[in-house]
Structures are given as structure tokens and as C-alpha cells.
A and B are shown apart, each in its own frame.
Chain A
Amino acid sequence: MADSIFNEMYDDGRVRPPYARLEDWVRAMPAALRAMKQAEAEALFRRIGITFAVYGEGGDPDRLIPFDMFPRVFTQGEWLRLERGIKQRARALNAFLLDVYGRGEIIRAGRVPARLVYGNEAYEKAVVGFRPPRGVYSHIVGIDLVCTGPGEFFVLEDNCRTPSGVSYMLENREIMMRMFPALFREMRIEPVDGYPELLRQTLASVAPARCEDEPTVVILTPGHFNSAYYEHSFLADLMGVELVEGADLFVENGLCYMRTTEGPRRVDVIYRRIDDAFLDPLCFRPDSMLGVAGLMDVYRSGGVTIASAPGAGVADDKAIYTYVPEMIRFYLGEEPVLRNVPTWQCAKPDDCAHVLANLGDLVVKEVHGSGGYGMLVGPKSTRAQIAAFAERLRAEPGKYIAQPTLALSACPTFVAEGVAPRHVDLRPYCLVGEQTLLVPGGLTRVALSEGSLVVNSSQGGGVKDTWVLAE
């Protein structure tokens, strides 16, 4: 298996051009200096308090995610292609959402099965027929990608609700620039620090039509006990907007307000970092303490914008994922730039039979799961584990999808013995509002143990800075 793995730094024993300068950099760095730098980076992270788990992965909120100083590098050419593919996908996903909550053309055309969409738990009845400002449902689309060879990218999954981790993209860069300014002077790396302002502009651009002044944008957090609280607070700070909890907001006269020391202040756009189910106890879970009573009524009548829009989750469901290339063709009339990983829907009897017969070679995931839990990595599992999983699969086939194990690319990574290749993925954050925007970079997650394919921070994953070289 090792032979077939694409090493992003070395190709046939030769250093690939984007990494040329880094090879000298590593060679010139003695172990002692490296250790010092690593300690410095950790101290910086701890000091700024960036101790949180990637959303949905749980874990100790005061835990640090390991930061690997070896950056991952893309050439301008590689990135342009990725950018085209990511934006294309983000546009198609939004077109799909607007369509399935509207006329449902893609379903009438027989391109996506009605039941898969309308019967989906994430399909939100309460917003059917509603057209959000600019027709956008998912304002921040996080697309998880893996690379298997030069220029060969596959999309693992889409995140249309509230993809997290962008604060790592920003902090990783900040720390790398502080520690290795010389590299930045020499290598001409595209900046990512414009992201918070672009996010703010994107959110302001989807303010309700009724809002006439400069829109007031807020971030709605479940609170400081949430593992991603740091990110919420970090983004609010960089965007210059208030970070609110549900109890800080209330509705009156068809509008939403926040409670301030000077009395109520109108809120126009809510970037929510809480799930649909908790947004409004009058509309969704009545026991939710995190939401705002009456918020959905205000939203539906155009008094406030919620980003991402309630109901956006139906587009990033793992069962819907298979149809994204179809969406791109249907709505955009284009061929997909980025490929999907071939996926077997265990809900389909034929697919399920194939999966059961080939469990040892496949990765099986829960349709609604996240964080790398409840999944089976066939080639890394024992016979007993496979047998046990087969039982679960037979009991509830509709809960699972399966994919071939891809030969994920590896990037040089600092390990105890020096530098060694480790598997990586990539999550760029695409902004969709008045324009579709993508900062040149993203969050690279790395599986720190040798041979591991699981990059989730809760299971031994770390993060890296992601560089896109200017022309």
C-alpha cells in the first residue's frame, strides 16, 4: 500500500517544486531549534486560549489540538483548479437547497429521488416555500477534500450547516508568520487573514430587504461550555460583531433584538453556531434553552436572516452527497471539477450486498454521523471488528454508506524521529452571499500516527498551516 501513496513533497525521490524551499528549511533546522519552536508554538496557542475541539467531535474544551509546523503547500495552479471546483460545488449545493424548498425541479426531473430529500430528517418543513435573501441557504460551505495524486482531488463530504475549524486556519497562519517570517518573505504565500472581513461582508450582504441601515450582524453561540466557543468568540472579535447567546435575543413586533446596556438593539443577521433543533423552542425542540422563542416566525416573515438557513442540512447529508455531481450538471450545466468518492448506499439492497461482501476493503460511515465515530475502516480492522460491524449493518442498512479506502496523500510532518509522511485532508471554507468567495487556504488536518487515515482531532489528529503560493 505504501508504494501507491502520493507524497505531496516528493515525487519519484525528487522534491516537488512547491516544497523546494522547505527542504532547505528543514535541513537547516537542528532538532534543538525545532523542539524550541514547537514549544513556542504550543505556548502561543495556549496563551491565546485556542483550546477547543472541532465541532461535533466532543472532548475536553481545554485540550490543545497538536499543531504541526511543517506547512502543506499548493501551487497557484493547483489551487485555481481547487477553487473552481469548490465554488462550483458551493453554488450547486445552494441552488439545490433553494430548489428543494421551492419548486423541486430536480426532483420533478427525476434526477434525485423525492423520498431521499423530502423524507430526510434534515428537510425542514417550516421553511418550505421561503426564499432567503439572495436565495442563499448555506453561507459558509466547508468542503472536505482528500488528494490521491498530483491534481487528483476527491470530495469526502460537504458541510452546509456551520463548518467549524476556520479559527485554526487563521491562527495556524498567525503563528507560522510569527515563528518563521523569513519563509514568508521568500516564498510569497497568499494571505488568508482577510477571511473574517469577507465573512462579515458576506453576512451583511444577506441582510433582510427590510433592513435599510448598515446591517447588525451577530454570532449566536450555544455558550461558553461549547467546545467550539473559542472559535465563536474569536470570529466575533475579528469581525467586530457581538457574540450572543439565545437569552441575549428576543423578538417583538416582527423583529429580533439583542439586550444591551442601552436597551434593545435590532439584529439583522444571525450567524448561528447552534443546530436547527435548538434555534426556536416554539418551532423546534420545545425544551431548547439555547434558542430564541419566536425567532423562526420573524425569520419566515423576513425580519431577520439566519445563516446558515434552517434546513440547509439536507444538502450535506451523506445520502444526498452521491447526487452532488448531478446537481452541478442540473443547475449549472457544467461537469464537476472535483470528483466524488464512489459511494455505496447501504439502503439499496444491491449496494448493501456488495458492501457486506467487501467490508474488509471499505470505509463504512453512518449517514448522519460525524467526527469519525461509528465508522469502520475495513483494512485497519480485525476480523472480529468487521464481523461485529456487519451485524450492525444488517440490522439497519439505511444508516450506512460505504466508500473504497482511498490512498490519501501524505505530507511531511514533524514526528519524534524527525520528519515523516503522514496522511492529510483539507477543509477550505467557501463564502456564499452577494458573491461566492474563497480565501486561498483552509484547514489541513493530519493523522499523526503512522499509517492512520483518521484525521479527526478527537482521534489523534493534528492541524497544519496550508499555503497557496502566489504566481
Chain B
Amino acid sequence: MLSRTAENLFWIGRYMERAETMARLLEVGARIALLPSVGHGYRSEWDSLLQASGTAAGFAAKYGDPVQRNIESYLFFDRDNPSSVASCLERARENGRIVRTALTSQVWDALNTAFQELRQLERQPRSELDLGRMTEWTTRHTAMMRGAIEATQLRQDGYDFLGIGYNLERADNTARLTDVKYYVLLPRADFVGSGLDTFQWTTLLRAMSAQRAFHWAYGGAFTAAKVMHFLILNPACPRALITSAKATTDHLDRLAQRYGQATTAQDRARAQLDALRATTVEAIIDEGLHEFLTRFILETGEIAQSVHDTYLSGEAR
């Protein structure tokens, strides 16, 4: 497969996943903002959300103070924000148009329909659009796309590049979403275990459509340790870091086997997965959740770089 085609597929995966995350982030933010302010206030909650999505600087430059409505526009529609839902969908579709023939017609349809509907959505007055509808619309389309890929794409290298894109992005995003919780949650150590703490964890789970799954898996009350285990170390959770790491490793293993060549990307992904398998929630808390997540995000970036160097750059011989 052309390296450029692989690159386009990889980015379709990344952008679709990122679009979904942005929508979920907005939902988390909106719910957290419904809370009575606890000492540090409304403003810093939205701040942390922008921080976690890596869009704080861009937003500040354009709007200054974080006002919810502006944040919604910025994270959803704004083309100046390369991570906005609209930017991501548009770029995913553009990548798809370039490699149109590497996609099945169902996958193209899903991608193209999302894009066409987005254009209609943008024509509607903002006052008629509530946040819930926007996030629901986004997750519906990203799910349709994912479904079309799973149901119709040939299990060839192209499928693996899509999968690697999706899973690296998901790993990165789950880590970032969890980090939002960190930023918002720990204003003071004595909040841990409080009603507020629980509310925030619930919100996070809800944003990941994982609230019921959590109950099914753990039963009983929310505790920080349980939620952390669920989102990081439980292979049954579809958004857990370990689940994404496993999927990335599997895709890379298949590629290496298909091409008859072991790669550094494979080694790195495997090392990350093994480390997750070996660790515990206690160990993570000891290291510090934020520190752990930061390190994980960095490692994920390195795996992406290896994938790029090995397969996507076209420089490998």
C-alpha cells in the first residue's frame, strides 16, 4: 500500500476518534459546570477542560475569558480550532476523499453523510442547537463510521492503519479526559471521597457512555480507585487505556507479520501494554495520576512517531 494512503487512513481514524472525544469533553464540561462552585469556581473548570483538550492557548487568543457558549462554539464548530468537531470531521472526510477507493462505499457513505449533515447543522442558528443534541449527533455519526469499518472493510493492511489511528487517538484521549477529572477534582485533598468527587467521576463515566458498564463490572459505590481501574486497567472497558494499547499492539503485530518485518513501533506498543498489565491502581496513585497520565500520553506519542517513521513517511527501505 502507498505510504500516503496508509497515512490518510491512519488520520481518518485519528480525526474521527478526536471528533468524538471533543464532543464528549464538551459534555463533561457542561455537566461539571452545573455543579455549585466549590471555592475555585466555574471559570477554572472550563479552563481545565480547555487545558486537557490542548486548546486553551488557541481559545484564549481568540476569545479571552472562557464563557460556556464561546467554548461550545470553539470546540464544536470553529475551523480555527484544529481539534474542533467540525475541523476533525472535515479533515477525516478530506482524507477519505483522497483515498476514496481504499474505503468501502459504506464507510465512505458514513463519512460523507456526516460531513454533509455537518454543513446543514452549521447553517442552523446556534440558538436552535443545544449542546446535548450536538454531542449526540457527533457520537451517532462516529459510531456509524466505526460500525461501517468493522462490518465492511477488508481485513487488510488498510484496516490495520485505520485501527492504529483510532486506538492511538483513543488511548491519548481517554488519558486526557481522565486528566480533566484530575485538574477539576483535586482542588483540595479533603474533597476526595466527597459527594462532589463522586459526582465528577460519574460525569466522566457518563461522558464515556460507560456508567452502566461500570456498574455491571464493579457494582456498589463509586470510588476513585474503582473508576481509575476501570478506565485504565480493565480490559473489559472499551475505552480503557489497556484496551486501546492491546488493540494497537494487535494491529501492529498483524502488519509486521503481513510485511514480514518486525518494527520498533511494535516493540514500543508491546512495552506499553506489558507495563499496563503489570501495574496496579495503587502504584498509579503512588506515582500520581497526573504524572502517570502525562507519561502515558508521551509514550503514545512515541508509538505514533514510530508508526509514522516505519510505515507512513515513505522513507523506510
Contact = CB atoms under 8 A, between A and B. Distances in A.
Whether chains A and B associate is yes
Interface of A: 47, 49, 224, 229, 233-234, 236-237, 242-245, 247-248, 258-264
Contacts of A248: 2-4, 314
Contact of B101 (A47, A233, A260): A233
Contacts of A264: 317
A261 B112 contact: no
Given A47-B109, A49-B112, A248-B314, A260 B97 contact: no
A263 B97 contact: no
Given A49-B112, A224-B94, A264-B317, A258 B2 contact: yes
A237 to B, nearest CB: 4
B38 interface: no
A49 B1 contact: no
B49 interface: no
B91 interface: no
B1 to A, nearest CB: 5
29 contacts: A47-B109, A49-B97, A49-B108, A224-B94, A224-B97, A229-B97, A233-B100, A233-B101, A236-B101, A237-B100, A237-B101, A242-B5, A243-B101, A247-B4, A258-B2, A259-B3, A259-B4, A259-B313, A259-B315, A260-B1, A260-B2, A261-B2, A261-B3, A261-B161, A261-B259, A261-B311, A262-B1, A262-B259, A264-B317
Contacts of A258: 2
A275 B311 CA distance: 30
Contacts of B4: 244-245, 247-248, 259
A119 B312 CA distance: 45
Contacts of A243: 101
Contact of A263 (B6, B94, B316): B316
A248 B314 CA distance: 8
Nearest to A221: B98
A441 to B, nearest CB: 23
Contacts of B250: none
Instruction: Sort chain B's interface into a size bin.
Output: 20 to 34
Nearest to B101: A237
Nearest to B8: A224
| Interface SS of chain B | helix
Point out which of B6, B100, B109 has the most chain A C-beta atoms below 10 A from its C-beta. B100
B157 interface: yes
A236 B98 CA distance: 12
A25 B163 CA distance: 50
B2 A259 contact: yes
Interface in B1-57: 1-6
Point out which of B3, B5, B112, B316 has the most chain A C-beta atoms below 10 A from its C-beta. B3
A263 B100 contact: no
B257 to A, nearest CB: 12
B2 A244 contact: yes
A34 B109 CA distance: 26
A244 B8 CA distance: 13
Contacts of A260: 1-3, 314
Given A49-B112, A248-B3, A259-B4, 17 more contacts: A47-B109, A49-B100, A242-B2, A242-B5, A244-B4, A245-B4, A247-B4, A248-B4, A259-B3, A259-B313, A259-B314, A261-B1, A261-B3, A261-B6, A261-B255, A261-B259, A262-B1
Interface string B99-117: 0110000001100100000
Point out which of B97, B112, B261 has the most chain A C-beta atoms below 10 A from its C-beta. B97
A272 to B, nearest CB: 16
B114 to A, nearest CB: 14
A262 B160 CA distance: 14
A263 B316 CA distance: 6
B134 to A, nearest CB: 24
A104 to B, nearest CB: 41
A192 B144 CA distance: 36
Contacts of A224: 94, 97-98
Contacts of B314: 247-248, 259-260
A262 B313 CA distance: 11
A245 B100 CA distance: 15
A242 B259 CA distance: 18
